[in-house]
Amino acid sequence: MTEEGIIYKELEWLNQFINYILPDKAKDESEESDGVENSETISPPAVPPQPVPLADYAALRGKGVYVVDLLFELTFSERLVLALTLAQYVAPEIYQKLIVEKNMKQSLVIGGVNFHHSYQGFIPTIETAIYLLSHCDEGGHVKFSIKLKMLKLFDANSTLINKNIIQLESGEGTLPYTASALKVNPFVLNKILWNESYIPALSSSFPAEKISTHQDWDDMVVNRKTEKQLEEILSWVNQRNAMRSVPAVARKVLPGYRALFYGPSGTGKTLASTLIGKLTGMEVYRVDLSKLVSKYIGETEKNLKQVFDIAEQHEWILFFDEGDAIFGKRSETSSSNDRYANQEVSYLLQRVERFPGTVIVATNFKTNLDKAFLRRFQTLVHFPSPSEETRKMLWERVFNDEIPKDGEFDFKFFAKNFELTGANIVNVLQQAMVLGFEENEGLIGKPQLTRALTRELNKLDKLDTKTERKLIYEYEECC
């Protein structure tokens, strides 16, 4: 059976279930009033229709069919809630009887909301799910005890909510909790419908974006101490599941791994993070702090929760660039703003500590971070400004044999005389290549390289008369 067939069966069961709850009484009554016997009316079943037995899907379990593995995690009631929520995306016609019943009787217990005036469809709520399930358990009579039992399906510890399968979308703040609309998590929806991963767009509600690199580990030039520390992080990521399988270790060691990368801009912190993801087969998401931090009370924590919950579910590596903006030192609480800012930092501390995956925080200045954060990092990796020897390696790697050059260059001269980072040298390559295409048939010659380097030094305020003379005249003489 295909994913499409499985989804169809689940929705067919939902449709039968709604017909069981709301049989076509209107048709029966109209035909009886005309004195005509209704021989075609299908009587509802005496007992609630049952879903397809999980045994029928057993052959596909554990073979990469997401929807099958998901169904095996769910109870009868949870399967019905999932089917009810899923119908709005692929089979909204299933809601027709619920819409008619609600409009005819103005029934509050059926629930259903419409947050957007331009959308005329039906969006199920917690009330809708409870209405169906309560009828199932009590033959059509909603009992208070059953309603309380059904509400447990939507608390923070339930499978559907805790595993972020179903999301609750609240309307106006004055509406009761049970009026929350049911939505399928976009990541889960993509996996159910197409068995594909969903890559969310960067937004205020999801302040993170996927980052990757075409470079390899050999392209990264750092000193041996830094490289050794990065290899330790790789080892943890590769062995994380093995460590969790040892109960004695799992009880004593906090879940996850937290690393701080600190050092000047352009020294390889972001590249190292993306390469760790590339080598371990894990996706790296960079948290955009400009979209994460909100001026509204509670919104920053809400945005953080969204990122951490989804990252935990998909085993992403979270990368916080310029982390001191959010991981900074807590201040004295002299005002309400200070108090809320400190609450955000405290919440972040808790989420980072509980996160079972890898968190990498990058900052230019380690001293700007709160000491409480520093204690929680397993590794502090220093990315220093490159030494002369490292700079020479960077020049050689960036301007390697694959780069179209018009002649040979003395990279030892550049490394000795100009204190540039890897990012600066890449900028020189980009500008020199543009000049090469404009002036030298796509080749980088001495004039192009010299002018590109001059511009980069000028941008960094490192170009004075002495430097320029050294760059132009000494380089021409020696090279």
Span 423-449, pLDDT tens digits:
999 999 999 999 999 999 999 998 899
Hey, where are the domains in the chain?
3-194, 208-382, 388-478
pLDDT tens sequence across 101-152 = 887 766 667 888 755 555 567 899 999 999 888 865 444 455 677 788 889 9
Q: Tell me, what's the pLDDT at 253?
A: 78
Q: Tell me, what's the pLDDT at 14?
A: 96
Q: What is the mean pLDDT of the chain?
A: 82
Q: Tell me, what's the pLDDT at 334?
A: 52
Q: Tell me, what's the pLDDT at 156?
A: 87
SS3 332: coil
Fold (CATH) for 208-382: Rossmann fold (3.40.50)
Q: Tell me, what's the pLDDT at 458?
A: 87
Average pLDDT of 11-35? 71
Pick the CATH number of 388-478 from 1.10.8.60, 1.10.3720.10, 3.90.79.10, 3.50.7.10: 1.10.8.60
Rounded Cα gap, residues 300 and 199, in angstroms = 22
Average pLDDT of 52-79? 93
Q: Tell me, what's the pLDDT at 194?
A: 92
- Which pTM value belongs to this model? 0.71
Angle between helices 186-194 and 3-21 (to 10 degrees): 110
The model's confidence at residue 36, banded by pLDDT at 50, 70 and 90, is very low
Q: Tell me, what's the pLDDT at 192?
A: 94
User: What are 369-374's contacts with CB under 8 Å, separation 24+?
Assistant: 369/260, 369/323, 369/324, 369/327, 369/328, 369/329, 370/327, 370/328, 370/329, 370/330, 370/345, 371/329, 372/330, 373/260, 373/327, 373/349, 374/260
Q: Tell me, what's the pLDDT at 83?
A: 97
Q: Which of 208, 157, 188, 206 is nearest to 359 (CA)?
A: 208
Q: Which of 356, 361, 316 is nearest to 212 (CA)?
A: 316
Checking if the pLDDT of 80 tops 80, the result is yes
The model's confidence at residue 312, banded by pLDDT at 50, 70 and 90, is confident
Checking if the pLDDT of 27 tops 60, the result is no
Give the tokens for residue 264. Answer: 């000047």
Q: Are 186 and 198 in contact (CB under 8 A)?
A: yes
pLDDT tens sequence across 178-233 = 889 999 988 899 999 998 877 777 777 778 899 999 999 988 999 999 999 999 99
